[in-house]
């Protein structure tokens, strides 16, 4: 059901937010993407998957698309973010903040600012994965922690590091072992396992997830 103008005003959504919600730009799947990134969680209510294609000589974003599961603000911020960074180099795109996204949309209700943060996190995750695939950054513990900032605890709605679900990491070559605080075979463990494999999608790594209560 489409959101009425009365409801939009009640929620504090601007005309630009509603425009990007009803007519999202750059939405869809890119089959030949150089890199993808998925942040958020369906269980939390907000999830974004990005697809990016680069000009390798200039590190320029030739194309960017997204899929979104969530509210009007989630769709609108993802749409606006893709518009703001398309055609930019990685260095230029990194200068776009979540506040820039919100302000360009005419502002967001405070309770919905996390949607702009999530879209920006998805972009940074994509850049990190692209740089790793190009051999520019080492897939060490700091890199793993940055990637996992986009994986959310569906109960608390914060990343698994802040939620203290991630208990430890071990790196041996391309094998990454993660110790996680969750009951084995629980719905939480299954959800986290799926999200973490999606987070590292496209990277030459082997994940060993160890769940313990």
Domain presence at residue 6: no
Q: How many domains does the chain have?
A: 2
Number of other residues whose CB lies within 10 A of the CB of residue 7: 13
Look at residue 118 in the predicted model and tell me its pLDDT. 92
Looking at 72, 99, 134, which one is the last position of a domain?
A: 134
Q: Would residue 99 count as lying in a domain? A: yes
Q: What percent of the chain has pLDDT over 90?
A: 77
* Integer Cα distance of 57 and 25 in angstroms: 26
pLDDT at residue number 1: 43
| Boundary of a domain, candidates 85, 112, 134 | 134
Give residue 10's pLDDT.
Answer: 54
| Domain stop point among 82, 110, 134 | 134
- CA distances to 13, 74, 76, 197 from 10, rounded to whole Å, are 8, 17, 17, 38
Task: Name the pTM for this structure.
Answer: 0.89
Question: Does pLDDT of 8 surpass 90?
Answer: no
| Between 8 and 139, the higher pLDDT residue | 139
- Domain of 41? 13-134
Statement: residue 156 has pLDDT above 90:
no
Do 70 and 151 have their domain in common? no
Residue 96 placed within a domain: yes
Closest by Cα among 208, 67, 191, 205 to 128: 205
118: number of Cβ within 10 Å: 26
Residues 121 and 177 in one domain: no
pLDDT band at 157 (very low <50, low <70, confident <90, very high): confident
> Which residues participate in catalysis according to the annotation?
44, 115
Across the range 187-202, mean pLDDT stands at 92
Q: Quick one: pLDDT at residue 13?
A: 84
Q: Rounded distance, CA 49 to CA 65, Å?
A: 8
Dist CA 167 CA 128 (whole Å): 23
Tens-place pLDDT, residues 94-146:
999 999 999 999 999 888 898 999 999 999 999 999 999 999 999 999 999 99
Residue with tokens 């200039």: 58
Distances (CA, A) of 128 to 54, 62, 143, 199: 13, 17, 8, 11
Work out the pLDDT band at 3, boundaries 50, 70, 90: low
pLDDT attached to residue 154: 81
Task: Pull the structure tokens for residue 94.
Answer: 């990194």
The 3-state DSSP class for residue 209 equals: strand
Dihedral Cα 145, 147, 149, 153, nearest 10 deg: -100
Query: CATH number for the domain including 153?
Result: 3.30.300.130
């Amino acid at each position: 059901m489409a959101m009425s103008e009365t409801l939009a005003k009640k929620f504090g959504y601007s005309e630009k937010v509603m425009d990007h919600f009803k007519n999202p730009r750059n939405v869809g799947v890119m089959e030949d993407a150089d890199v993808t990134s998925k942040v958020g969680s369906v269980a939390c209510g907000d999830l974004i998957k990005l697809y990016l294609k680069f000009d390798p000589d200039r590190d320029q974003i030739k194309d960017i698309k997204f899929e979104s599961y969530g509210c009007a603000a989630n769709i609108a911020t993802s749409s606006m973010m893709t518009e703001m960074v398309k055609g930019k180099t990685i260095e230029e795109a990194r200068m776009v903040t979540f506040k820039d996204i919100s302000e360009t949309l005419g502002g967001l209700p405070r309770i919905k600012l996390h949607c702009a943060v999530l879209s920006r996190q998805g972009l940074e995750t994509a850049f990190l994965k692209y740089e790793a695939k190009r051999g520019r950054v080492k897939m060490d513990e700091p890199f793993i922690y940055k990637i996992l900032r986009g994986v959310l605890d569906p109960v608390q709605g914060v990343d698994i590091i802040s939620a203290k679900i991630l208990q430890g990491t071990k790196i041996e070559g391309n094998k990454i072992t993660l110790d996680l605080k969750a009951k084995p075979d629980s719905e939480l463990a299954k959800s986290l396992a799926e999200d973490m494999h999606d987070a590292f999608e496209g990277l030459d790594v082997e994940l060993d997830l160890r769940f313990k209560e």
